[in-house]
Amino acid sequence: MTAQLINVKQQFKPHYSKKVLLVEDNDANRMLLSDCFNFCGYQVKALPNGSKFFSTVETFRPNLVVLDLKLPDIDGFLLLEKMQHNSRTAKIPIIIVSGLAFKSDCERAMDLGARRYFVKPVILTELTQAIEKELSCNQKEVFKNKTDFHR
């Protein structure tokens, strides 16, 4: 795992001004992903559920959201839908990291505005590359390829 993180860090320049909001209910996954994103030079705010999601978005102002779909207090699909209907959050890129592996789940998330969809267990280098790509793209660009589905 450490070697994988070193390889990840060597590929990217630190982005201390870029903020990533991570919403993941599993403690181990949340700590691992948060540490990985910090190691890559992002400012990270991690939430264990969706109850404070919108208030955190307002105060933290993330450049990107990494979202688990199966949360204890709210359905991740509902969060995606609410984000798309909120003018303050509609343009924030969202990357899904979920245990839901059905193609229909991926298609639904992408239809609700997610940019990428990764199935757990996620390969950290692929996830960090996707974050890097999303943060380096023009925010107005919309990814037309809805087949970015990683197993």
Largest CA distance in the chain: 41
What the block records as the tokens of 64 is 């990107």
In three-state secondary structure terms, 124 is helix
In three-state secondary structure terms, 21 is strand
Work out how many domains the chain is built from and give that number: 1
What the block records as the tokens of 149 is 């589905």
pLDDT band of 101, cuts 50, 70, 90: very high
pLDDT digits (tens, 9 = 90+) for 5-62: 555 555 555 656 899 999 999 999 999 999 999 999 999 999 999 999 999 999 999 9
Identify residue 30 by its one-letter amino acid code: R
Predicted local confidence at residue 5, as pLDDT:
52
Q: pTM of this prediction?
A: 0.83
CATH of the domain at 96: 3.40.50.2300
How many angstroms separate the Cα of 106 from the Cα of each of 78, 82, 111, 148? 14, 17, 9, 9
Phi, psi (deg, nearest 5) at residue 39: -60, -35
Which structural domain, as residue segments, surrounds residue 63?
A: 2-150
Q: Are 136 and 108 spatial neighbours (Cβ–Cβ below 8 Å)?
A: no
The H or E element containing residue 28 is helix 27-39
